[in-house]
Amino acid sequence: MRRPWRKGGVPRAGARRQRMSEGRLYLLAGPAVSLVVACVFLLVWLHHRKRSYVPFFAVAFCAYAMAALSQLFQIPAGVGLNTMVSGLVYTFGIFCLVQGVLARFGKAGAAPVLAAVSVAILGLLYYFMYVDRSLVARIYVQNFGYGVMFLFAAVEIFGASGRRKVDRILFWVFLLFGLHFFVRTVLTLSISPDLFALDRMRTEGADARTIGLLFRRSPFWQVLNFSLLVSGLLVALALLGAIAVDAMDELERQGRIDPLTGLANRRGFDDLAQELIADKTSHPQSLVYFDIDRFKGINDGFGHATGDLVLATVGGLVARVVMPRDVAARRGGEEFVVLLASTSARSAFHFAERMRAELRRTSFPMLPPGAVVTASFGVAERRPDEDLADLLHRADQLVYAAKHAGRDLVLTDDGVLAVPVVGQGAG
């Protein structure tokens, strides 16, 4: 009897074990990479806690690794139990990944839809495992179900407002990743005829190892693991890129925001105001410029900390009265400006008068009881082809004139004055 040796002195049984070992090492690449990616997302979140959507990504990639390892090592044992447990963890991972991306875009209402799709996937897995057993049906259910979840995310991303280049990249990544579940499944199953016979072989008492070997050698399984490894890395890179862009945007935003009032600073106002001026649909535009009266006296008499609280309170008042398209800012010191969209000089005058009266009525607990804070206002409607610097200069001159006219006034281009209620200002 011939000994089972291969050419070169390697036993055939040993060669088979070597091939299986190499195959298992190849299959371990996906879970290993996913765990590394999950750790990266976790570290990113630990350094940027404000990005509340990042933990979703860490959990998603960790869940994929756990589900893949569950299938690879058959933990828990038993085909039915392993199918349901790994399916549950896979589905949970996809849910977290999609929910994290949609949370980044502020799509808070997407969770019920994703949960419904997830429940449907798990329900059908159970049906085709224990009621009408069919491996091919389970393959279709999981892959098509996950494809639907990714396509849903792509549609939601496409409908998000203010999409940037990185958002368009995420849209295409999720769209193509979702479509790949459909295309890959159909094509690989068409060249994996053995999979259609595995359920029959199992019911006829075929050896479980033989069935497992046929499944792992199928083109479907090989392409599945390779495609998920590559596409998973692409998704991870796209998400990390989006997080990096978000961080840079946050730094830029902080450079355009006055930290004391939460309004735009001088730089932020100039940038946003130029964008608004360029928008023809926002014409006519008017500028409201105001300066807190005798603010130096507040700083000198009660301290700069009190002065800062007064500025923050005034900033909160401005933020409450402006509309989303308007541009409000603290330009420096005690000076505030509001560029009003689609607002004539007369409407801007009434806006400024309401704000002047509201400021006079505002309570400032950091000041002595009965103290009143007032401001002097200048209102100028933007002229055709007038640039921002000239508009600011005109409104500033009106503020100067209002100061000299007695303070706590609103002065416009045509000299209209809002006569204040008789009272003593605090500053």
- Rounded-to-10 torsion of CA 29, 35, 36, 39: 180
Please give the structure tokens belonging to residue 224.
């599945």
Q: Please tell me what DSSP assigns to residue 369.
A: T
Are 67 and 84 within 8 A, CB to CB?
A: no
- Rounded-to-10 torsion of CA 88, 91, 96, 98: -170
The alpha carbon of 11 is separated from its chain's Cα centroid by a whole number of angstroms, namely 56
3 state SS of 379: strand
The alpha carbon of 307 is separated from its chain's Cα centroid by a whole number of angstroms, namely 36
3 state SS of 310: helix
Are 374 and 420 within 8 A, CB to CB?
A: yes
Angle between helices 54-73 and 79-104 (to 10 degrees): 160
Gap between the Cα atoms of 162 and 174, Å rounded: 18
**Catalytic residue set:** 334
Tally the C-alpha atoms within 13 A of residue 85's C-alpha that lie toward its C-beta. Answer: 17
Unique residue bearing structure tokens 């190499």: 22
